Amino acid sequence: MNKITLENKVILVTGAAGFIGSNLVKRLLHDTTAATIVGIDNMNDYYDVRLKEYRLQQLQDPRFIFIRGDIADRSTISRLFADHKPAVVVNLAAQAGVRYSITNPDAYIQSNIIGFYNILEACRHSYDDGQRGVEHLVYASSSSVYGSNKKVPYSTDDKVDNPVSLYAATKKSNELLAHAYSKLYNIPSTGLRFFTVYGPAGRPDMAYFGFTNKLRKGETIQIFNYGNCKRDFTFVDDIVEGVVRIMQGAPEKRNGDDGLPLPPYNVYNIGNNQPENLLTFVDILQQELVRAGVLPADYDFEAHKQLVPMQPGDVPVTYADTSALERDYGFKPSTPLRQGLRAFAEWYVRFYMTTK
């Protein structure tokens, strides 16, 4: 593994106003004293833009340069790389969500395929004319690439050729594209398969956030697969810890027996390695919402719960094998579900229920 220092480097974070992106930028600003962080985000309205603006407000720092732009626009990315010459690139910009990909496929092709291709091309040309170029490209993949694999826990050694949603297919294609570019142009790249990330200021389309909004309005929440889904819920701070460690350890450039470069390419799972039943998850969420004062103590949860069949594109279980992450980077996510949901519930009160 090639050790990379982040100090005195330009670090590009795409999707910087997103859930994981903004938390990563915050952490990088905290951990470094002489790094410059360039963030790009198109600030689209897939969900409430006020959340994205709120996240950006937490990142006021002279070392953070924010660009409002779209990675799917080739000229924007070319200009960004020419102006800032990033040494480390973390691509988190993507159209997220499994269900939305069924009704709005165009957004996924634009952001997840064309956008990522633009990033790869910019990384490739960062070495032109003898420049040092990008030392490490880290990019978000997803646990959804495992599709309906029956074998659990999911290992990065498993075959993942059966996506059950367009979103999953675009994420798998990112891994394939990155492999090709790593092989052809010797670009060190690491893909990260994130497992159901949650936490304060997260995405409102995620179950825990949507459930909270509905329960607060007195609406009924739908629990899919009659509650028989299991998810490897991973707290956002654990995800960020994993990303920061991986940024600093790039796959080594080396040649094979034929004298040609072996692709400096890796993929890791980042998950909690402890899947929780959806009904258990909802139960803990309810308790923490009452504790934080989001809902009254006498709230009738049973009257607001409905067990329904599986949705298209969903899978019954996600479960991360994190042994490779532990072996190579000495890290394993470990935040208990209750602790993470408590942090979310307390943030929810501050953001939505405190008079400003």
Q: What is the pLDDT of residues 67-106, one digit of tens each?
A: 999 999 999 999 999 999 999 999 999 887 777 788 889 9
pLDDT of residue 313: 62
Q: CA-to-CA distance for 107 and 122, rounded, in angstroms? A: 21
- The CA-to-CA distance between both ends of the chain, in Å, stands at 49
**Which two three-digit tokens encode residue 166?**
């367009």
What pLDDT, on the 0 to 100 scale, is given for residue 314? Answer: 67
Q: Which residues of 45-60 are buried (b: 16+ CB within 10 A; e: fewer)?
A: ebbeeebbeebbeebe
pLDDT at 355: 56
3-state SS of the chain?
CEECCCCCCEEEEECCCCHHHHHHHHHHHHHCCCCEEEEEECCCCCCCHHHHHHHHHCCCCCCEEEEECCCCCHHHHHHHHHHHCCCEEEECCCCCCCCHHHHCHHHHHHHHHHHHHHHHHHHHHCCHHHCCCCCEEEEEEEHHHHCCCCCCCECCCCCCCCCCCHHHHHHHHHHHHHHHHHHHHCCCEEEEEECCEECCCCCCCCHHHHHHHHHHCCCCEEEHHHHCCEECCEEHHHHHHHHHHHHCEECCCEECCCCCEECCEEEEEECCCCCEEHHHHHHHHHHHHHHHCCCCCCCCCHHHEEECCCCCCCCCECCECCHHHHHHHCCCCCCCHHHHHHHHHHHHHHHHHCCC
The dihedral built from the CA positions of residue 192, 198, 202 and 206, taken in this order, carries a sign that is: positive
CA atoms within 13 A on the CB side of 141: 31
Which residues are within 8 A (CB) of 284 and not within 5 positions of it... i.e. 6 or more apart? 337, 338, 341
Give the per-residue pLDDT at 354.
80
- Counting Cα atoms < 13 Å in the Cβ hemisphere of 22 gives 20
268 is catalytic: no
d(CA 97, CA 174): 16
What CA–CA distance (Å, rounded) separates 96 from 141? 11
CA atoms of 27 and 261, how far apart (whole Å): 34
Task: State both tokens at 300.
Answer: 């009738």
Q: Identity (one letter) of the amino acid at 160?
A: V
The strand pair at 197-198 and 254-255 is best described as unpaired
Interatomic CA distance for residues 339 and 345, integer angstroms: 10
The ranges of the chain with pLDDT < 70 are 313-315, 355-356
**How confident is the model at residue 275, as a pLDDT?**
85
Question: Which one from 167, 319, 329, 348 is the annotated catalytic residue?
Answer: 167
